Amino acid sequence: MKIAMIGSGAAGSVFAAYLKRGGADMYLVDMYKAHMDKIAAEGLRFRLNGEEERLTGFTCAYNASEIGVMDMVIIMVKATQTESIMPTVMPCIDDHTVLISLQNGLDNDYVLKQYVPAERILCGFGQIGTELPEPGVCVSKPESGIVMRFGPAYESEASRTAGLWLEECFAKGGCNASYEENIWPYIWRKAISNSGYNTVSALLGLKVGAILANEQGRELVLNVWKEACQVAQAAGAGDLWPEMQQELPRLAAGFADYYPSMAQDVLLNHRQTEILHLNGAIARYGDELGIPTPVNRALTQAISCIQANYDLRKA
C-alpha cells in the first residue's frame, strides 16, 4: 500500500514511522529540506520509550507533485495550511485514492470534501506527544491505551476498507489504533482537550504539569472544557463532560513534562497556530448554536494577537 504523508514534521514523521514499521510503502513530503534530505540519505531515527530505531526505505520529496498517484494520502500539515496545500496534492490522487486527515481541530473534513468525495475521506487524530529534535530524528511519547482513532466522513466500502487496513498497519507498527464507524464524538473530545491544555500552555508559556498543578491553571482549562462540551452537545456529539472530567489525571500522567504543539509553535518556532480550528472553531459553533463561549473567545483573541506580533515580543 503506497501512502503519502503530506506534512512530515514531528507528528507526521512519528505517524509515518509506525506505518513503515507496520509494512506500508511510505512517501514523505515536507518543505523542511534538511529533514527530507537526512531521511533520504540515512533513514529516519525513531525514538520510542528511551530506545532508538533507524527506519529506511522512505521516498522523500519537497512537493507532492513529485511522487505520483497514491493509494492513501494522509494530510498532516497545520489545519490552517490545508486549503493552500491541497492543489499541490491533487497529482497524488485518482478515483481510488483515500484521503485522510489526522490533523488537530474541527472542520478538517469540510476542506477535503472540496477535492474528494466524502465516501473516500477518513478523519481522525493521534493522542501522541511528538518532537522533532533535529533533522532525521523524531520522538514518540504515546499515552496508554488507544492512541490513534479514525473513521469515515461518510460510511462507504472504500472508507471502511482503508480504515481497517490502517488500523492493522498501525497495530503491526506498535501503535494502538482503532477504526471507529462514528468518529465525531472522538474528534470533538480531542478538539476540546487540545483547546484546554494546548492553548493554555501556549498562552502561559508553561508545561502541562505546571498548569495542572496550579489551581488557577486547572480552573482555566476546565472552564474551556465546560463551554466546549456545551457546544459539542448542542452540535449532536453527545454529553462529553463526564469523559472530560477524566482528562486531568490522564494529562498529568502522560504530558506533565511537555510543551504541546501550540506551545511549541508560539514559544519555540514563532509559527501560525491552529487556534482558529480549536478554540476559535468552538466559539464559532457556539455563535451558530446560541451557546456563549467567552473563555474560548478570549483565548482565541489572545493567541491571535500573539502570533500577529512575534517580532515585538520579548524573550
Q: Which helix (H) or strand (E) holds 38?
A: helix 33-42
Find out whether 29 and 63 touch, Cβ atoms under 8 Å: yes
Dist. CA 16–CA 284, nearest whole Å: 33
Mean pLDDT computed over 154-183: 96
What per-residue confidence (pLDDT) applies to 315?
60
For residue 4, what are the CA distances in angstroms to 26, 31, 114?
6, 14, 19
Q: Which residues, listed in sequence order, are joined to residue 99 by a DSSP beta bridge?
A: 73, 121
Q: Is the pLDDT of residue 148 over 80?
A: yes
Residue 254: band (very low, low, confident or very high) from pLDDT cuts 50, 70, 90: confident
Domain residue spans of the chain: 2-179, 184-310
What per-residue confidence (pLDDT) applies to 95?
95
What per-residue confidence (pLDDT) applies to 127?
87
Beta strands in the chain (DSSP E): 2-6, 25-29, 44-48, 51-55, 59-61, 72-75, 98-101, 121-126, 128-134, 137-142, 148-152, 177-179
Mean pLDDT computed over 164-192: 96
Q: What is the pTM of this model?
A: 0.86
What per-residue confidence (pLDDT) applies to 270?
93
Mean pLDDT computed over 290-309: 97
Q: Is the pLDDT of residue 250 over 90?
A: no
Residue 253: band (very low, low, confident or very high) from pLDDT cuts 50, 70, 90: confident
CATH number of 2-179: 3.40.50.720
Matching fold, domains 2-179 and 184-310: no
Give tens-digit pLDDT for 192-225. Answer: 999 999 999 999 999 999 999 999 999 999 999 9
Dist. CA 265–CA 221, nearest whole Å: 19
The residue among 294 and 128 whose pLDDT is bigger is 294
Q: Is the pLDDT of residue 185 over 70?
A: yes
Kindly report the average pLDDT of the chain as a whole number: 95
Give tens-digit pLDDT for 269-299. Answer: 899 999 999 999 999 999 999 999 999 999 9
φ, ψ of residue 72 to 5 degrees: the values are: -135, 145
The C-alpha cell at 292 is 456563549
Give tens-digit pLDDT for 49-102. Answer: 999 999 999 999 999 999 999 999 999 998 889 999 999 999 999 999 999 999
CATH number of 184-310: 1.10.1040.10
The fraction of the chain above a pLDDT of 70, given in percent, is 100
Residue 15: band (very low, low, confident or very high) from pLDDT cuts 50, 70, 90: very high
User: Quick one: which of 114, 124, 210 has its CA closest to 167?
Assistant: 124
